[in-house]
Amino acid sequence: MAVSINVAVKTYQQYEVHKVEKLLETIAGGQLDQSIDLTVNKKLQGIVNSINLLISNTNQHIEEQKRSEKSKDELITNVSHDIRTPLTSIIGYLGLIESNNYQDIEQILKYTHVAYKKSLEMQNLVNSLFEYANVQHATSKLNLTHFDMVQMLEQLSADFELEANKRNIKIIVDSKPKKIMMNGDTEKLGRTFNNLITNAFKYGAGATELYLSATKKKNEVVVTVANNGRPIPKESLPNLFERFYRVEDSRSKKTGGTGLGLAIAKSMIEMHGGTITATSDKKLTSFTIHFPLISEE
Ligand code: ATP
Ligand code: MG
């Protein structure tokens, strides 16, 4: 009797192994849309669970890769478009000169001026792209130093004083406490704040004040760049940090931006373990950054 139960158990176990084997064969053949949905004996169950975990991790990895491919394709399409437009105009104007299709030196100067302007536009785009690619692929490592955030904001205020005067904007630096020491890459953070301040000047039409504020909290430093100019439409707020996103007339080049500044800013702040968010209403457009404070800071 005992012998026949043993034989039955053994046969059943062989049957389970066989079923698992069959399923593994189909999975190995590339059908990763299934898991091994079997309850089997304890010994085998451990292996089945590991295989299921492996399948779900592989699937997740494949999804991530697909997303990244798609976003790369979009990037290439956008970049090709943005490079082709000024390039067409450069070739057009230089072509007129090349084929002696001009009236006088005045006209040559006019054509070269447009070609030069368009070249600068292209250079701006390529530089931003290069910077974006660098922060994305973490080829650019953080060069951390211990620095005073309040001093950094005061320095930025001094750097932009002339520009602010020209636009009748008052820069107000506010901090609590008066010295906030933290670790960070001052060059990268400087570029990030530069973009936020330039944006406030360029797009915050009608602004009379620009606020740079820093507050030290228990576990973080909160920095805000805000202006009281024309608000950002509510529906645009969620897209601001997407690369190439611009509120004005989609690809308008009047204001000369590439729409990469805030995407770069976000990446740089995330490299510091921080976050950046935007809010905007009739009174104030604010970009708020939270930097985590590590205990020794
Ligand atoms: P780049 O910074 O690459 O030269 P950009 O300034 O157009 O180009 P972002 O800095 O990413 O790109 O800004 C995206 C868009 O967000 C801007 O085109 C503008 O429409 C809007 N924006 C950003 N900051 C402000 C602000 N302070 N007030 C109003 N609109 C803003
Ligand atoms: Mg910008």
Q: Where on the phi/psi map is residue 65: left (φ > 0), alpha (ψ -120 to 50), or beta?
A: alpha
pLDDT tens for 144-183 read 999 999 999 999 999 999 999 999 999 999 999 999 999 9
Per DSSP (E only), the strands in the chain are 145-148, 170-176, 181-184, 209-216, 220-227, 275-280, 285-292
Taking the CA of 252 as reference, the closest ligand is 1
List pLDDT tens digits, range 178-235.
Answer: 999 999 999 999 999 999 999 999 999 999 999 999 999 999 999 999 999 999 999 9
Q: Which residue has its alpha carbon closest to ligand 1 atom 26?
A: 200
Question: Looking at per-residue confidence, does 40 or 219 come out higher?
Answer: 219
- In the CATH hierarchy, which top-level class contains the domain 75-136? mainly alpha
What is the tens place of the pLDDT at every residue in 243-295?
888 887 644 455 567 888 999 999 999 999 999 999 999 999 999 999 999 76
Cα separation, 97 vs 94, whole angstroms: 5
Q: What is the spatial distance between Cα 212 and Cα 156, in angstroms, rounded to a whole number?
A: 9
Contact 100, 85 (CB under 8 A): no
- Least Cα distance to 258 among 138, 43, 81, 19 occurs for 81
* Distance spanning both ends of the chain, measured CA to CA: 74
Chain segment 48-96, per-residue pLDDT in tens? 888 889 888 999 999 988 988 887 787 787 788 778 888 999 999 999 9
* Residues 40, 56 contacting (CB under 8 angstroms): no
Q: Which residues contact 240 (CB under 8 A, 6 or more apart)?
A: 232, 247, 262, 278
**pLDDT one-digit tens code per residue, 96-126:** 999 999 999 999 999 999 999 999 988 988 8
Listed by start position, the domains of the chain span 2-64, 75-136, 145-292
* Residue of 241, 262, 276 best suited for mutating to test ligand 1, as the one with most atoms within 8 Å of CB: 262
Model confidence at 297, pLDDT cuts 50, 70, 90, reads very low
What pLDDT is attached to residue 138?
Answer: 60
Distance 226 CA to ligand 2 centre (A): 14
Q: Token digits for 209? A: 């004040």
Q: If you average pLDDT over residues 131-136, what whole number do you get?
A: 79
Q: Any idea which residue has 């301040």 for tokens?
A: 197
Query: For residue 257, what pLDDT is reported?
Result: 75
Give the pLDDT score at 253.
54
Ligand 1 pocket: which of 246, 251, 260 to mutate (most atoms within 8 A of CB): 246
Q: Are 243 and 75 in contact (CB under 8 A)?
A: yes
- Per-chain mean pLDDT for the chain: 88
- 200 touches ligand 1 (CB under 6 Å): yes
Minimum-distance ligand 1 atom for the alpha carbon of 260: 3
| Nearest alpha carbon, ligand 1 atom 2 | 261
Q: Write down the pLDDT at residue 140.
A: 67
User: By the 8 A CB rule, do 289 and 274 touch?
Assistant: yes
Indicate whether residue 90 lines ligand 1 (CB < 6 A). no
Which CATH class, in words, describes the domain spanning 145-292? Answer: alpha beta
